[in-house]
Structure 1
Amino acid sequence: MAWIVLVVAGLCEPVWVTALGKVDSVTRVGPIAVFLIFLTVSLAGLSLALRELPTGVAYAVWVAIGAVSTVALGVLTGEESLTVMKAVFLAVIIAGVVGLKIVS
């Protein structure tokens, strides 16, 4: 169950990061609300997962899911391009996290 919570928490990260990028003034309540809600859910999920999982591995997985998902969201929305080298380094991040999971 902790792994599921951690994955969901990691998938919330690109939402709050993207919303944070859309906050250009304090008068835009929508992006601020999305940012605060998804940041809270993401960190709460990480906190819950840390009760059962090793801190280093859980944090690395959370960050990796967030990083890869944020790039994927940027590519899907056209805000970011995916180059071969970017894809290679994202694969390295994923391989590193899988390696951490295997050895832990």
Structure 2
Amino acid sequence: MTNALTSAIELNASAPIDAGDVALVLKADGAVQALTFGYDRNRLNQPEEAWTDEDRAMIEQGKKLFALVFALGHPKLMKVLLDIASDPDVVDFDTLTAMKTRH
């Protein structure tokens, strides 16, 4: 069974970080830090008609980051996401277990 979660987990920490990648860092003190790699954010200050496909892709990445940060700040929404993440009809736990044993 392949789904978004198992696909994302397959891109584990050993995967290289490339230009255009984004990440969320959940700090031990509860703070959240969003990171982008290899992209000049000043490019988005240009008129929209000057944006490249890369610029548009980074905007989509930014929307996803915003949604995740928003969810982290709202306990009810996080509960829904955590419930979904523990649902065996959604998450392939056999794949997750196998990945833990590979490291």
Q: Under a length normalisation based on structure 1, what TM-score does the superposition of the two structures give? A: 0.30
Larger % of helix: which?
A: 1
* Larger gyration radius, structure 1 or structure 2: 2
